[in-house]
Amino acid sequence: MTITITAFERSPDGGKGLARDTRVRWALEEVGQPYEVRLVSFGAMKEPAHLALHPFGQIPTYEEGDLALFETGSIVFHIAERQAGLLPDDANARARAITWMFAALNTVEPPILELVTARLLEGDKPWREERLPLVEARVRSRLKQLSARLGDSDWLDGAFSAGDLMMVSVLLRLRSSGILDEFPNLAAYVARGEARPAYKRAFAAQWAINAGTPPTG
């Protein structure tokens, strides 16, 4: 059955791979699942046809026959549950890998999104300079805990899993801030993720669409 995902017609990051379709592409590449992509403009994302697929007017979405999903975490989990390669077979190890997916999205990503918001959406506000260090401190606090847990392991819990895919994807958003490099084991962890052939194919696929478009953020 054909799988179709949506992606930005023109990604705001100009092809850095930070748009969330890259996470879904990466998961599909890890399990060896071919897919098609439908590009959506910013205008079309807020129109009824796309809102029927994604109530918050975002990308990516996932369509497979009668099934339509939104929300990156859910899509990656759906892929991971149906095909081998992203979740361990052992029940307890599987539950822990899912835990890291949620931790990436609900514990580590929110302060990182706050930092992105502080820089972009509130970058012209008078409080920018005084407030940024507070937001960065909240990011560092989480990274310090994550770094302590990872230690010198390659991945968060045994073999590479959907939990690592999501955590690496979330941490990638920090690279331009320089904060990631303050935690060498996390920087090396992200680099290990980027070195995976499946990630490289996912990155290249979004780059082929977005290369040369000037970033807006």
Residues that bind a copy of itself (CB under 8 A): 51, 55-58, 66-67, 69-74, 77-78, 92, 95-96, 98-99, 101-103, 105-107, 109-110, 113-114, 117, 121-122, 125-127, 130-131, 134, 138, 142, 145-146, 148-149
Closer Cβ to a copy of itself, 117 or 216, answer by number: 117
Taking the complex as a whole, how short is the minimal distance between the CB of residue 28 and a copy of itself, in angstroms?
A: 16
Measuring CA to CA, which residue among 200, 28, 14 is closest to residue 5?
A: 28
Closer Cβ to a copy of itself, 15 or 169, answer by number: 169
What are the Cα distances from residue 128, in Å, to 115, 123, 131?
11, 6, 5
Closer Cβ to a copy of itself, 149 or 200, answer by number: 149
Instruction: Return d(Cα 155, Cα 165) in angstroms, integer.
Output: 10
Q: Is the dihedral of CA 169, 170, 171, 174 positive or negative?
A: positive
Q: How far is CA 148 from the centre of its chain?
A: 22
Taking the complex as a whole, how short is the minimal distance between the CB of residue 142 and a copy of itself, in angstroms?
A: 7
Taking the complex as a whole, how short is the minimal distance between the CB of residue 204 and a copy of itself, in angstroms?
A: 26
Closer Cβ to a copy of itself, 164 or 205, answer by number: 164
3-state per-residue secondary structure call for 152-165:
CCCCCCCCCCHHHH
Taking the complex as a whole, how short is the minimal distance between the CB of residue 100 and a copy of itself, in angstroms?
A: 8
